[in-house]
Structures are given as C-alpha cells and as structure tokens.
Amino acid sequence: MAPYEIVFLGTGGGRFTTITQKRRTAGIRVLGENLNIHLDPGPGALVYSISEGLDPQKLNAIFVSHSHPDHYTDAEVLIEAMTRGMTKKRGVLAASKSVLKGNDVCEPSISKYHQQMVEQLVEAFPNTHFQVADLAVSTTEARHTDPDAVGFRFETREYGDFAYTSDTQYFEGIGKYYKGVRLLMLCVMRPAGRPWKGHMTTEDAIKIVEETRPEQAVLTHLGMQMIFQGPTREAKIIEEKTGTPTVAATDGMRVLFGEKIEVQTAKPRQGQLDKFF
C-alpha cells in the first residue's frame, strides 16, 4: 500500500493573513489510493489545486470544519468540480452544523443547492463517525468563536491515525481526541505570549503535544503575528519542550504518511500566482 500524501495548499489563517495572502489560505489536500479529500477550502483552494497539479474534479470528499471565510469560501466551487459541474450526485460533504445550517453567530456557508448534489452529506458534531473510501473518520471537539467548529481524526488500516485540530483554543480534555495519532496537524495562529480567544498559541500546542505524544507535529493556519514572529522558531520551541519532531508547514509542503512519516519541503514554483504574491 502506497503512503498517503498530505499537501499543504495553504498554511495561512486569520483575517489579515487571508486578505494579504502572506500565506495562502487554500487548505489541505489528502490523497490516497482511492482517496481525494479537500480539507477546509478557503480562498485560493480552487486556483492552487490547479496550480499544484491536483484536478478538483477528482475529489471524492470535501470537509469544512466551521463557518469562517478562511475555511469555507471555495467549498461550493469545489463541490461543482466534484459533481462534474453539478451533473452527477457524487462524493461526500462533511461539515459542521454552522456550515450547513447556520447558528446564532454564523449564516450557512454552503447553499442547499450545493448540499443536495453530494452523494453523502455528513453533519459533523464531535464524535461523529463515518467512512470515506478506506479511511475511517471521526470528528473532534473544538472550542472556537464559531461554537459548532470541529476537528477531524483519520484512521487508516495500514498506518495508524493522523488528525487536524482546526481552529480551537486549548481546553481540558482536548488531548483525549488525539491520543495515539502518529501525525498531528495543529492550527496554531498565534506565537507564544500572544493569546487570542478561540485560537491556539505555541504554549497551547505544547500542552496538546505533551498530552498526545504524536510521532510528528505540524503547525499550520498561521496568523500574521505568527508569521512575523517566525513559525520555524516557534516550531523549534515546541520540539525542544516536548521532544516531538515539529515543523511549521510552508505553502506547497507535502507529508508522506506511511510506515514512516516523511516531510517534503515545497519546491520553488515559478507560477504566475506566486510571482504576484
């Protein structure tokens, strides 16, 4: 069995990173033998999928963790790609209640028209379990300014588990959702000493990594203060404190998840978009 491939199409998060594109906000693609998932398709997800040679028409699932623009804006157009231009019911859409139905602070962010065109619709609450191809998925609790936000844990038959926290602040008990994962992708928007309600700082990431002890930690969804502080330096702090290998993701970085976990740094691209930004 070939390893799974995780492509960081974007590693930015938060309002100012999004509107300046200091880091892309295109989300994460997860690829396997029968698997093609787009996770949190924020602004740029469609364009950077194509730029990286990942045909959006080959998607078989789209996951949206919550109803904030840096996580959902390209979801509808990716659904249109996945369903062959809305001509065939196809694929899985797994999304929080806020994304599908709205709540007291968020409007729905994917139309009923688009929701009805997927083959399987999953309203994702914490501890929801479902299957996508050969991947068993469970949703994890997140505590964020969208109260319905969730994270995702992925169980493979051959290689164990990997997970994505989405946006969340640290809370007592968060570690139980990620215990035993080999690869943990953490949305760490702020550096040490710069807390912000509903988000994670470097100190919070240290606590979670200490509680869960993954083989590899990856920081993503980086806000402007984190970018200016230096994500690589913050990753080094986490690694030194926990003993867990930790990297700050870069746009275009890939992780091979198999018997070993291999981090492949992004190759410089000469595309028009990258020149622009």
**Structural domain includes residue 175:** yes
- pLDDT at residue 194 in the model: 84
- pLDDT at residue 268 in the model: 56
Angle at alpha carbon of residue 44, lines to 41 and 46, rounded to 5° = 70
Overall domain count for the chain: 1
Helix (H) or strand (E) holding 155: strand 150-156
**Structural domain includes residue 269:** no
Domain that holds residue 230: 4-258
- pLDDT at residue 26 in the model: 98
Instruction: Note the pTM of the prediction, 2 decimals.
Output: 0.94
Give whole-number Cα distances, 203 to 97, 140, 192, 235, 239, in Å. 29, 20, 6, 11, 12
Q: Which residues, other chains included, contact 222 with Cβ-Cβ below 8 Å and sequence gap of 6+? A: 11, 12, 13, 17, 23, 188, 189, 231, 248
**Structural domain includes residue 156:** yes
pLDDT digits (tens, 9 = 90+) for 37-81: 999 999 999 999 999 999 999 999 999 999 999 999 999 999 999
pLDDT digits (tens, 9 = 90+) for 193-243: 786 788 999 999 999 999 999 999 999 999 999 999 999 999 999 999 999
Classified as helix, coil or strand, 217 is strand
Beta strands 254-257 and 4-8: pairing type? antiparallel
**Structural domain includes residue 275:** no
**What whole-number distance in Å separates Cα of residue 96 and Cα of residue 67?**
8
Confidence tier at 270 by pLDDT (50, 70, 90): very low
pLDDT surpasses 70 at 276: no
**Structural domain includes residue 271:** no
- pLDDT at residue 269 in the model: 54
Q: Which of 246, 254, 251 is nearest to 268 (CA)?
A: 251
**What whole-number distance in Å separates Cα of residue 105 and Cα of residue 180?**
34
pLDDT digits (tens, 9 = 90+) for 152-193: 999 999 999 999 999 999 999 999 999 999 999 999 999 987
- pLDDT at residue 273 in the model: 47
Q: What is the dihedral of CA 240, 246, 249, 255, to 10 degrees?
A: 160
Confidence tier at 274 by pLDDT (50, 70, 90): very low
Give whole-number Cα distances, 146 to 98, 168, 169, 220, in Å. 8, 10, 12, 19
Residues 105-111 have a mean pLDDT of 95
Confidence tier at 271 by pLDDT (50, 70, 90): very low
Percent pLDDT > 70 in the chain is 96
Q: Which of 14, 15, 21 is nearest to 45 (CA)?
A: 21
Q: Is the dihedral of CA 105, 93, 86, 119 positive or negative?
A: negative
Average model confidence (pLDDT) for the chain? 94
**Structural domain includes residue 264:** no
For residue 194, the domain's CATH number is 3.60.15.10
Structure tokens at 10: 């974007």
**Structural domain includes residue 228:** yes
**What whole-number distance in Å separates Cα of residue 64 and Cα of residue 98?**
10
**Structural domain includes residue 208:** yes
